[in-house]
Amino acid sequence: PTCKQQNDPTAMICAYCGSPLHRPSTTTIHVSANGQVTRPKEPEIKIDIPEGAFALLIPVPGKEPNIIFEYRSPVILGRPTTPEQILPDLIDLTPYNAVSFGVSRRHGKITKTETGYVFEDLGSVNGTWLNRLRLIPNKKYPLKNCDEFRLGRLWILFHYNHKRDEPPRTAPADTAELK
């Protein structure tokens, strides 16, 4: 990785800087009679997201991703203080190794607005990255379909049900821009 840190041998993304890790692996290639080399397509994951909902995909190396469908807004991403204390607006990330990945108890918030969704880091200890750019705590950032964000070292992909013919969104006035 860019940061030269040691990572788990099964990791696909650096836990420290977020850069992709290129691991030696076997791959299948096809060579045509004229010498053209092609690789098989990556498997696609198709998700039917119910109208009015969004989905969070949590990648798991070597397995299908975990998918969380959510209708509530706003919702807090994090973990409970105690196992008995599940808050009604909390998406509990504990089952996805949130503690070891550095996810704070109230790490971030996703809110639906008239123009789409926004994400806000709630002052987390280990930070949040949106599309590999570190977010400033307590500022709202617009989310687009297929955005990826990282809470501490936990990667999450954001998807929502949108119409293909929608005009491009403009961010609400109180949101920050990524630079």
pLDDT at 8 over 70: no
The least confident of 42-56, 57-71, 141-155 is: 42-56
Per-residue model confidence as pLDDT tens digits over 117-149 = 999 999 999 999 999 899 999 999 999 988 998
Is 70 exposed, middle or buried, given 0-12, 13-18 or 19+ CB atoms closer than 10 A? middle
Q: What percent of the chain has pLDDT over 70?
A: 61
Q: What is the mean pLDDT of residues 101-118?
A: 93
Give the pTM.
0.67
Give residue 106's pLDDT band: very low, low, confident or very high (50, 70, 90).
Answer: very high
Query: Are the beta carbons of 69 and 50 closer than 8 angstroms?
Result: yes
pLDDT band of residue 53 (cuts 50, 70, 90) is confident
With left for phi above 0 and alpha for psi between -120 and 50, is residue 15 left, alpha or beta? alpha
Burial classification of residue 171, based on how many CB atoms lie within 10 Å of its CB (0-12 exposed, 13-18 middle, 19 or more buried): middle
**Between 146 and 64, whose confidence is greater?**
146
Is the pLDDT at 61 greater than 80? The verdict is no
- Residue with the bigger pLDDT between 99 and 178: it is 99
d(CA 167, CA 170): 9
pLDDT in tens, 18-32: 666 654 444 445 556
The radius of gyration of the chain's CA atoms, rounded to the nearest angstrom, is 18
